[in-house]
Structure 1
């Protein structure tokens, strides 16, 4: 799914209108999609308080109020005290609800929340067109609404957010439980500093012009089910273990054998044809007993002294690796002589960062840093938007793929495209989850998935397994090993 800028969304609206639908009818279509969703998901609510701005977002709110009233819900509408001019379509929809005796239209300042436990606030004050920090009466209103302890819905996007950039320091933003947005994700939904205001995102298809959407160029995407099903390759029957490649997981050190064990197990569960583990001798018994399907190759007593080279294999290096001097020398020697793509994670990245050796990473390799590891490698940034732009620059400069781990992990390609992943949950915020991802990515690349597609599919697969695990065990109790055990359920889901 493409992510468009606010300007591109405006152009898409215009292109749709040019195809023959009037702007007021397009607004009606958007409002009806919201009202239908609200009816299904909030059908036992007694009352909706709907706050409408003067622009088209307010027009959506007026139309939603009318449609909810027609569905037999009790609604109250609130508008700006200053009686500023409304947009033409908002004016039409305001006049329509003023003709309905059962809908009361009040001023923002009239809102005094009464103890109605079964009610919902709907925010339709500002949509994607906002380009300034909230101030004055609107700021005061949003702060007041945020203090009310009932469920809240934002239409298009929470008032106070921008579509494409970080908010200003100390900004006031409506805190929604649900955001009903139209046709596209906005980038601000997918970054931690801004996404926290959105709650659960529901993208509603309102029939914007498909030709325009198909032709418009963007460098930002959301990974969706359509993309994944186009990437996923079900196994053919007449194959053998050699068909599905060799995966070599390199890592582990005294006390950290569990990390490389999880990478090994996840590679096996992701379909690697032959799987090897290179680790210190102290991990031999653990790995052979927990992952008997993998072949163990000893490298040193407590730390890695060498990385064996095996032809036509894909390497995933770093989980539990340690940073001993001999381990560092082994990594540098391997990277200087190895020209094929590798997957690098954890201590492999920290070693490169501490020695300023990022230029040793082979072209088309995959690195999987979390924010702190990324900072060590490439420098400090002020926020996640700046971090992503620096990642785009470095991915192009080094010709590598960067899997930038976060609540919404982003895959950055050498040609600076960004794919945001929306599977996964906070239950995955535990040590070991990244080690599982390393094994998944290594196995997919060894099965000859195109590297860009392997990154997209691997990150989605990792998150989807996490979602299945949280459903069974809860976010609090789920373990990284539960992700591994749920990979089979995800493949069955894709095969259904």
Structure 2
């Protein structure tokens, strides 16, 4: 799914009005109807609503939503600014329609504090939409600050008021804190970054049938990984295939006291489908690996730490899990990279070794995949002020080094050498545990060994990792789920993918 800028969304609205044809007010009606359908499916029928409407088109959505909710039997109070009724044309139409209904209370913003609030009522924020160009101040700022203090469930229409759609807000900006954001047609970039995304809560994408030709032809380098993309990437197994068709991967890592990391990576590689899986680790981990991961073959890479990484032909390497950064280990990795030139996966301590001297980054083979978390990224490429700047720097470095960067975060970003960005929206906070990154390394290495392109392996691997984590959270909870549970759930996700391919006859 493409991520569109606010300017592109405005053009899409205009194009739809011109080409469908449909009036702007009826397009607003369509958007409001989508919100009400979602609300009706997710709220109890005796729920009360407080709808806060601004003067622009977002407020018009709010007036229309309030009217539709009332006509479907809900109790609704509407708040607006009586001191400033300079509504947009479409908003004025919906305001007049609302005034004609006697059962809806129309109140000024100032009346909010005088009311005895129903703590179970849902607050709907329709104050400011994606057109906002400056931070909230004055009366609007105070209103949103007061609403944020309320413990009521909160829904934002299209975007939380005060949030910019395409850029970073300042730290002290006032933004409506939604539990759910009902947004139109596509994700907004600001929903996907930690500094701003936390204000959006759960995001529901509502298809309001904007012109498909415009959506198909509009250019974007930012995408959200969706089921359609994954279905295109995923390749079911040929019935007449054999293990040689699915590659050979070598998971390299581990050190004394840190064998669990490479065990997890090895198991993940196996469960992700590689034809042959080897684990290259120190001899001190031999019994652990052969006991806990017997399907993987063992390669001795040293005694208590890795001191040698030998090149095996026709093999894909995933290096770094639990490896440590001892001098002998660093030397063995650098010597290996000087002579190995095929795409591989580098994570954790492999990245920490490379970060010691900047010229070492040039040793990373072209089309390789690196998987840093924010701190590792900072060590590699330098500090940035926020995640928006970090992403821009990642774009530069992916292009410069001709590599794929998997920038791990709540919504992990996959950045390609062509500066495209794929945001992943599977996964959950249950992954915030040591070992989760090792599982991801094993999955991506396995997919790369199976002849997926580097971009495909990264996109599919990150999605699989998150989807398996979602399944694990449902079974064990986010608190109790372990990285090993994520590995175990890979099979269920692959079953789902295979059924999807079969259903569509692909």
Q: TM-score range by the shorter chain?
A: over 0.9
Give the corresponding residue for 1:244. Answer: 246
SS of alignment partner, residue 111 of structure 1: helix
Say whether 1:416 aligns with 2:419.
Answer: yes
**RMSD, matched Cα:** 0.8
Secondary structure of 1:402 counterpart: strand
Q: Secondary structure at the match of 1:202?
A: strand
Unaligned runs of 5+ in 1: none
Q: What aligned pairs does 1:368-383 form with structure 2 within 5 A after superposition?
A: 368-383=371-386
| Shift in Å, 1:303 | 1.0
Question: Are the aligned partners of 1:81 and 1:109 in contact in 2 as well (CA < 8 Å)?
Answer: no
Matches within 5 A, 1:247-396: 247-356=249-358, 357-396=360-399
8 Å CA contact 1:190–1:408 kept in 2: the answer is: yes
In the alignment, the residues of structure 1 paired with residue 46 and residue 61 of structure 2 have an alpha-carbon distance, to the nearest angstrom, of 20
CA shift, 1:44, in A, is: 3.2
Match of 2:32 in 1: 31
Pick from 419, 433, 450 the counterpart of residue 430 of structure 1. Answer: 433
Secondary structure, aligned partner of 1:4: coil
- Tell whether the 8 Å contact from 1:45 to 1:118 is kept in structure 2 after alignment: no
In the TM superposition, what whole-angstrom CA distance separates every residue of 1:310-369 from its partner, at most 9, and x where no partner exists?
Answer: 111100000001011111111000101011011000000000001221111111000000
Q: Does 1:477 align with 2:480?
A: yes
Normalised by the length of structure 2, the TM-score is 0.97
CA distance in 2, matches of 1:366, 1:268: 19
Paired residue secondary structure (1:203): strand
Aligned partners of 2:437 and 2:364: how far apart in 1? 19
Report SS of the residue matched to 2:186.
Answer: coil
**Which residue of the partner structure matches residue 11 of structure 2?**
11
Judge conservation of contact 2:45–2:73 (CA < 8 Å) in 1.
Answer: no
Are residues 1:177 and 2:179 paired?
A: yes
Aligned to 1:125: 127
The match for 1:447 is 450
Superposed counterparts of 1:134-149, under 5 Å:
134-149=136-151
TM-score (ref. length: structure 1): 0.99
CA distance in 1, matches of 2:82, 2:443: 56
Q: Which residue of 2 aligns with 1:468?
A: 471
Structure 1 residue 101 and structure 2 residue 85: aligned? no
- Note if contact 1:371-1:406 (Cα within 8 Å) is conserved in structure 2: yes
Runs of 4+ in 1 over 6 A off after TM superposition: none
Relative to structure 1, the CA distance from residue 383 to residue 45 in structure 2 (aligned partners, 3 Å threshold; closer, same or farther) is: farther
In structure 1, the partner of 2:460 is: 457
Residues 370 and 405, structure 2, Cα contact 8 Å, conserved in 1: yes
Does the aligned pair in 2 maintain the 1:444–1:458 contact within 8 Å? yes
Aligned residues: 496
CA distance in structure 2 between the aligned counterparts of 1:424 and 1:169, rounded to whole angstroms:
26
